[in-house]
A and B are shown apart, each in its own frame.
Chain A
């Protein structure tokens, strides 16, 4: 158990809909990262927050947005969902915001768009 908690574990929704994925980082970690992993694909970095502020951005679609709240939990919002958005979405956390920190991953949220 990494200490990173993600909810929901599984989610099935229809095209065009909007969903929110939630992440609670490890106790004491200030930085949160979001990754997407499509079937048999690699881990794609989406976005990183550090202490409530956006720190780094990857290949995140405009339909997707994220935020980190004062209690340090984070949410990834996915809207106007398409079939291709079906994937595993991982959240990770680290103590610091620089990339020289060890990051710890949650078990992911499986999103299926039908």
Chain B
């Protein structure tokens, strides 16, 4: 599985866009980038995933660089309810791979 690196913490003002970076320099050509988040002690929640192209859904946008070595999750209008730990994961594509969660980024939204 490709290793990912995320800042341990970030903060953002309510109503502004929150941009969460992730480095995955060892990613290979057919590996997806997934983002999940965990709001305090709740079950982790799937946000979005992508391969090469930028993706957008009702929750967020995912921007993947052309060389695919990094990505950014964008929450366009952050609210207090977006306060959570955000995980960037590149699970690989192997039947023996396990979906491993790293330390993630703790995002705090300030009023």
A positions within 8 Å CB-CB of B:
2, 4, 33, 35, 42-43, 45, 48, 55-56, 58, 88, 90, 92, 97-100, 102-108
How far, in Å, is A103 (CB) from chain B's closest CB? 6
> Is the pair A107, B94 in contact by a Cβ cutoff of 8 Å?
no
B positions within 8 Å CB-CB of A:
1, 31-32, 34, 38, 41-46, 49, 91-104
Return the chain B residue nearest A97 by Cβ.
B95
24 CB contacts below 8 A, A to B, read A2-B43, A35-B101, A43-B101, A45-B99, A56-B97, A58-B98, A90-B43, A90-B44, A92-B43, A97-B95, A98-B93, A98-B95, A99-B92, A99-B95, A99-B99, A100-B91, A100-B93, A102-B34, A103-B46, A104-B46, A105-B43, A105-B44, A106-B43, A107-B42
